[in-house]
Amino acid sequence: MAVRRLWFDVGWLFAMGAELGSGRRAYCTSQAFAEVLRLPSKQLTKLVFPLQELERHFVPGSRPDLHLKIFNPSLDDIARAESVFTASSRNRIEYLSSAVRLDHAPDLRRPEVCFIGRSNVGKSSLIKALFSLAPEVEVRVSKKPGHTKKMNFFKVGKYFTLVDMPGYGYRAPEDFVDMVETYLKERKNLMRTFLLVDSVVGIQKTDNIAIEMCEEFALPYVMVLTKIDKSSKGHLLKQVLQIQKFVDTKTQGCFPQLFPVSAVTYSGIHLLRCFIANITGNLKTNGFQFS
């Protein structure tokens, strides 16, 4: 533990960024991200920009539209976003409370993001990965599905609150729809809903519960594809294209870019942190490129 603490207490340092075409640049970053920047360019792309990495596997000439570059922050922006997620005495990241009803939820002025998905989709593991720079935060990852029965609130310093919503589908809490629907409909400081889809199996019937709620309440939401380390490149590409098509043709409020992640390899985790820091108003970036 002492070694781990030391790792996180080392603080900030300047690290030379990896060579990425534009030449070497200096990034102010945490030691953890400095390690990432030292990776060879192909490995770095796979870890930080997994969707772009998939692009290499398209059949030449087919050019499916994956909206790859809508949110395309620089490594500098991503490095800066890491500070939002790094616990320190001045940036306390901690579990706040749990609630079964909205009126039991903490009354907060800070912006909020929530994570929602089927039981076993990998929600707790993803939240744990997002909080890996705050190792004291306890996010319980269960071996049995259906673990999260309440809404769990986590404070991320003065920046925002992250809410782990109960899983739906198998062993969902009885009052799941009431609890979640009321939260999604009425939570005033909710900035973005992250809807998790298991990249191994794609969108399932039960996912429609959450998709329909987001669409009905006209919420801005984002699809996050979990467990991308589990599939072959071919299978993953097929799932990603199918889900992308669904987002393009069947949704209104869903952000057009998918966020593939792995809580095991950490692929996509840094980019997702940067996106969250940005949409909660805590990081200015020129990373959004709408054409």
Instruction: Give the binding site for ligand GDP (CB under 6 A).
Output: 117, 119-125, 141-142, 145, 147, 167, 226-227, 229-230, 262-264
CB of residue 289 vs ligand GDP: minimum separation in angstroms?
Answer: 28
* Residues 113, 118: Cα–Cα separation, whole Å: 17
CB of residue 261 vs ligand GDP: minimum separation in angstroms?
Answer: 7
How many other CB atoms sit within 10 Å of the CB of residue 212?
10
CB of residue 86 vs ligand GDP: minimum separation in angstroms?
Answer: 22
Token pair 């990432």: residue:
36
Question: What b/e readout covers 260-271, taking b as 16+ CB neighbours within 10 angstroms?
Answer: bbbbeebbbbbb
Please identify, using beta-carbon distances, which residue of 15 and 133 lies nearer to ligand GDP. 133
Q: Which alpha helices (H) appear in 49-163, and where do they start and end?
A: 50-55, 75-84, 123-130
Please identify, using beta-carbon distances, which residue of 18 and 116 lies nearer to ligand GDP. 116
The amino acid occupying position 166 is: P
CB of residue 144 vs ligand GDP: minimum separation in angstroms?
Answer: 8
Please identify, using beta-carbon distances, which residue of 159 and 275 lies nearer to ligand GDP. 275
CB of residue 265 vs ligand GDP: minimum separation in angstroms?
Answer: 8
Q: Within 13 Å and on the Cβ side, how many CA atoms surround 109? A: 1
Please identify, using beta-carbon distances, which residue of 34 and 172 lies nearer to ligand GDP. 172
Strand partners, 71: 288
Please identify, using beta-carbon distances, which residue of 92 and 171 lies nearer to ligand GDP. 171
Rounded to the nearest 10°, the torsion over CA 205, 206, 209, 215 is -50
